[in-house]
Each structure stands twice: as structure tokens, then as C-alpha cells.
Amino acid sequence: MNKGLEVARGKTKVLYEKPGEPDTLVVTALDNITAGDGARRDELPGKGRIAAKTTARVFRLLNLCGLPTHYLSGGEDDDDNEMLVRRANMIPIEVVVRGVAAGSLVKRKPGIAKGAILVPRMVEFFLKDDANHDPLIEIDDIVHRGLATPQELGMMSEIARITFEILAHAWRSRETLLVDLKIEFGRLSGGEGRGNLVIADVIDNDSWRVWPQGREELMLDKQMYRDLETVTPDDLARVHANYETVADLVGSFPALRSGMVAYVADGAQSVALLDPVIAQTNVFGLQSLRRVVSTHLVPAYVLQAVQQLDATFARLVYVASGPHLAAMLSAATPTPVFDATEFDASELALVVAKTLAMDDTVMFGRVLLVQANARSAVLGADAQINAPGPPVGLA
């Protein structure tokens, strides 16, 4: 790709302006690995390509879930260590989410044992300041320095927590524990949604701690490099192999495993009854199909339809138009069956999405986001209801 003007250079990446598109940047990851705020630095040929792949795959997963990120495309092909992102003004804060106690937390708080599960997850902010070793910073101080507003910090915490849960889900299904995670935010500098907060920078194997089988000694992330006393070529080869393993594992993170929702109406008169649920399940991007059967006119056909659907789809959920049909389907199939009359439409869509989210991280992330939006809608409505009205004469 024809890269334009260099706009920024970090320890492990270079950013260029895309020619003719000032709101789009090209990010190229370098073959450097650093630790101790740049005090230790090594060249690791191929690391840039691997880091770009990891970041692109993580961001693509987050985009599929509906989280706001700066990622547009690229970075994944072997020969193309170039990621296209929306330009953003970076907020100089590292947001760390911890699900398991480790690292600087256990140094700072000796009362918390390394490996302790942290619920609720802990969110901490660190000021980006290499010279002072990225110190921990309190929310009031961030606001006082004008780095972010309280509203932005609330959103950053919520988005960071959801990001952690999505990645923890993906890692869990690969028998690996996500211990902690660092992300950074920016405000879009132009185009649609200008000023909006997005997850920016990179999320790669330098940004988290991951312990296969929950065992620290099997760690695959950058901590292994940080912990080295001296760095030998053999050590670097092991670090390189770990980074490659992680990029491969992350390769399957952004896959939406196509689940199918079968809406089954008991008689043609029940078809319309399912429409509101179908509209709500579309929010999750679920695939669906509709069938009409009749429990009392053609009962054998109900069983035939079920057998046919069960044999066709590996990941399937039934939604029946009423209790009689739901009971018949439940007895006939090992697949989950829900009775549409037992739930309101949005509640049922959520239950269906949750069922399919168990082994689908994209669906899991969409569920988390829908729940977070529902919570913030309630809080927003509560804030509005007692808000003073507009001044007389301006209504």
C-alpha cells in the first residue's frame, strides 16, 4: 500500500496518514519488543507481522460484537503488516482490567494473593508517562488534569470491562485464562461520530497476561520476556514461538458460528404471533427460519419437521408459538425449545441469544452489549425524569 506522511512513531509501531484520506491512518507494527518502559529492547524478526495479525483479529472480534473501535481493515495477511484505522486523538491513559490478581497489583497490595479471582473485575487507570513508569492515577486526578470527563471515564470503564469479558470468553474456550488486559482509548478526529470514544492503539500479546490451563508457568504473553534476567537468542526464539502460538489461537476469535433459530407456528393463524420475537432476535444478527405445522391436524408432520431441522443444523434453538406445540417439540428433540407465550419478545430474544452464546464469543459479546445498553437506558430515563424542563418560553 502507498503509505503517506508519517504522523507518529511509538516503541513498537509507526502510523502514517493514508494518502487522500486524512481521517484514516495506516498502522505498521515494528519488529521490536521492549520492556521496562523502553529500558530493554530487542529486535525480533517477524514480530511486527505477528503483532499486526493479533491486533487485527482482536479488533475484528470487538467490531463484530458491536463495540466501538478505531479498526477498519487489514493487518491480517502474512505479507501485509498494515492495518487501516480511523484517526483518533489518543487519551494518554492506560485502562487495565483485572480478572485475576497478578503483576503490579500484587506488588502494590501484598494482602491480595497472586492468582486470586477478582469479582467484580477491577478497573485501574495508569497515566502514560514512561519517564515516571506509567503511574497509577485516580479518577479525580484524570478529570482535574482535563484528560477525560467523568462521563468518558464511566464509558471507558464499562467498555473496558465488556472487552475483558469478551476476550476472557474467547480464551476460556481455548482452555486459557485471561488474567488482565490493558487498552487505550481515543476520540475520533473526523468523519461520522467525530469526538466519539473508541478503543484505539493496539491489543496484542503485549497487552494482556494469558495463562494456559490457568497455570502461570505456561504463560504465553510478554511477561515471559519482561521476566528474563538476560536475553539469549534461545530466549528470543521461545518468545517468538509464543507470539506465533497466540496469533494462531486468536485467529479463530472473530468467527460468528452461525446458529439458527427455528420459529415454529402451530397453525397458520399463529404465524403473526412470532413476528415481534423475530424482530427482536434480529438485534443480535441471528439467522432464523419459519415453519408452520399443526399439533392436532398433522401431528406426524411436526415430528418429521423437527427431525429434518435437527439433522440440518448443528446449533439450533426452537421457538414455538404456544405451550402445546412447545411441549410436543420438547419431548421430540434434544435441542432447546422455548414457548413464545411465556416471555415478552425482547426477553425471549435475549434468552435465545444467550443459549447460542455459550460457544460463540461474538454472540456472547452482543449479549453483553445489549444488556449494558438496557442498563444505561434505565439510568438515562431515571436521570431524565426529574431533570428540570426547558426555561419557560423555550419549550
Question: For residues 386 and 87, is the Cβ–Cβ distance under 8 A?
Answer: no
φ/ψ of 40, rounded to 5, equals -110, 135
Contacts of 350 (CB under 8 A, 6+ apart): 367, 370, 371
Least separation, in Å, of the C-beta of 81 and ligand 5GP? Answer: 18
**Nearest residue (CB) to ligand 5GP, 186 versus 322:** 186
Least separation, in Å, of the C-beta of 152 and ligand 5GP? Answer: 20
Least separation, in Å, of the C-beta of 70 and ligand 5GP? Answer: 16
**Nearest residue (CB) to ligand 5GP, 108 versus 324:** 108
Name the residue number minimizing CB distance to ligand 5GP.
Answer: 103
Task: Specify the residue for cell string 404465524.
Answer: 271
Tell me the three cell numbers of residue 256: 460468528
**Nearest residue (CB) to ligand 5GP, 33 versus 293:** 33
Contacts of 381 (CB under 8 A, 6+ apart): none
Least separation, in Å, of the C-beta of 244 and ligand 5GP? Answer: 18
Of 337, 326, 357, the residue nearest 172 (C-alpha): 357
d(CA 220, CA 210): 6
Least separation, in Å, of the C-beta of 182 and ligand 5GP? Answer: 3
Q: Any idea how long the chain is? A: 395
Of 159, 156, 157, the residue nearest 66 (C-alpha): 159
**Nearest residue (CB) to ligand 5GP, 72 versus 123:** 123
**Nearest residue (CB) to ligand 5GP, 123 versus 345:** 123
**Nearest residue (CB) to ligand 5GP, 114 versus 375:** 114
- The SS3 assignment for 107 reads helix
**Nearest residue (CB) to ligand 5GP, 153 versus 179:** 179
Tell me the three cell numbers of residue 15: 502510523
Which residue spans within the chain are E strands per DSSP? 6-9, 13-18, 21-29, 32-35, 40-43, 71-74, 83-86, 88-90, 93-100, 117-127, 176-188, 197-200, 208-212, 260-266, 287-293, 316-320, 337-339
Report the interface residues with ligand 5GP, using CB under 6 A. 94, 96, 102-105, 134, 180-182, 206-209
Least separation, in Å, of the C-beta of 340 and ligand 5GP? Answer: 44
Least separation, in Å, of the C-beta of 16 and ligand 5GP? Answer: 21
